[in-house]
């Protein structure tokens, strides 16, 4: 099956195509979409990735050793994505101080350090949408002029030291790296770990066929279960959900519709 023949869901309605076909991804598929016009971590970015299997969420489906997962973790992830597609946006989440600190590190120190360490300039992207429209990744950069991505971590100091001593990609991040290559079709991906005052760990990871096969199989089973659950929910509701609404962030607490609880910070426009 060619890339153009693969189908997912209708982006406007968020409703899975009843004739959707999911097949293990072909390498170097040209149909992926690279978005660069929004900021990672913004509400718009959260809406764009909502309801899709992402690189940061693939560990719900694949073990650190590259085997498909089974059980409650897979089902819970499926229900989260189903809920996001039903409401047309991200589920409520509270961003921690560590998340904000890591974002600042990436912007101010880690990316320039990677360029100094390797000599490679990187371009920032918002989100890469897989050609199937049901998967995606938000890499920390793409190497300029090359089909190579970058996953960049700024862990706690003790973890960074462990990574340096072990001298390899931490196993918990391998699903994320291999899935990023699955989404993009790229054959190589950099993993880097940075902490100020310490050496930087930089590892070039090659696309692994066994990993790619496991990811394809896990996604096939996952979306088969997902589509069945979606149809059951539509039957219970008596109709599909309304088309996706536009989300925006309410910053003014004097809005009479706003109840200042964490779950109400992101509200659909009436």
Tell me the average confidence (pLDDT) per consecutive run of 10 residues in the chain, 270 residues long. 36 43 42 89 91 96 96 95 93 61 72 96 95 94 97 93 97 98 97 94 98 97 97 95 63 44 43
| The pLDDT of residue 31 | 76
Looking up residue 165, the CATH number of its domain turns out to be 3.90.320.10
Q: Is the dihedral of CA 171, 182, 185, 143 positive or negative?
A: negative
| The pLDDT of residue 224 | 97
Give the C-alpha separation, 255 to 157, whole Å.
Answer: 42
Give the structural domain span for 93. 3-268
| The pLDDT of residue 151 | 96
| The pLDDT of residue 253 | 42
- Conformational region of residue 26, where left means phi above 0, alpha means psi within -120 to 50, and beta covers everything else: beta
Tokens representing 230 are: 């979606």
**What separation in angstroms does the CA of 147 have from each of 35, 96, 144, 189, 234?**
16, 33, 8, 9, 41
| The pLDDT of residue 242 | 82
Tokens representing 64 are: 């650190």
| The pLDDT of residue 68 | 96
Burial 4-36 (b: 16+ CB within 10 A, else e): eebbbbeeeebbbeeebebeebeeebebbeebe
Q: Is the dihedral of CA 249, 251, 256, 258 positive or negative?
A: positive
| The pLDDT of residue 245 | 59
Number of structural domains (the chain) is 1
């Amino acid at each position: 099956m060619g890339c153009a023949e693969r189908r997912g869901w209708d982006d406007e309605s968020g409703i899975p195509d009843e004739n959707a076909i999911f097949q293990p991804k072909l390498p170097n598929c040209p149909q992926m979409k690279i978005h660069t016009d929004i900021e990672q971590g913004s509400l718009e970015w959260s809406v764009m990735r909502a309801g899709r299997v992402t690189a940061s969420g693939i560990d719900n489906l694949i073990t650190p050793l590259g085997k498909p997962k089974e059980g409650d973790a897979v089902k819970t992830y499926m229900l989260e994505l189903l809920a996001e597609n039903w409401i047309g946006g991200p589920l409520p989440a509270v961003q921690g101080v560590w998340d904000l600190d890591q974002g600042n590190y990436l912007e101010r120190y880690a990316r320039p350090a990677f360029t100094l360490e390797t000599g490679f300039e990187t371009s920032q992207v918002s989100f890469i949408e897989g050609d199937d429209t049901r998967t995606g990744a938000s890499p920390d950069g793409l190497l300029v002029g090359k089909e190579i991505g970058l996953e960049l971590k700024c862990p706690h100091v003790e973890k960074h030291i462990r990574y340096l001593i072990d001298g390899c990609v931490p196993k918990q991040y391998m699903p994320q790296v291999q899935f990023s290559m699955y989404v993009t079709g790229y054959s190589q991906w950099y993993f880097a770990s940075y902490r100020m005052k310490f050496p930087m760990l930089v590892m070039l990871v090659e696309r692994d066929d066994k990993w790619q096969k496991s990811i394809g199989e896990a996604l096939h089973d996952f979306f088969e279960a997902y589509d069945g659950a979606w149809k059951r929910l539509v039957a219970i509701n008596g109709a599909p959900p309304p088309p996706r609404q536009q989300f925006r962030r309410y910053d003014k607490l004097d809005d009479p519709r706003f109840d200042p609880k964490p779950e109400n910070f992101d509200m659909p426009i009436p």
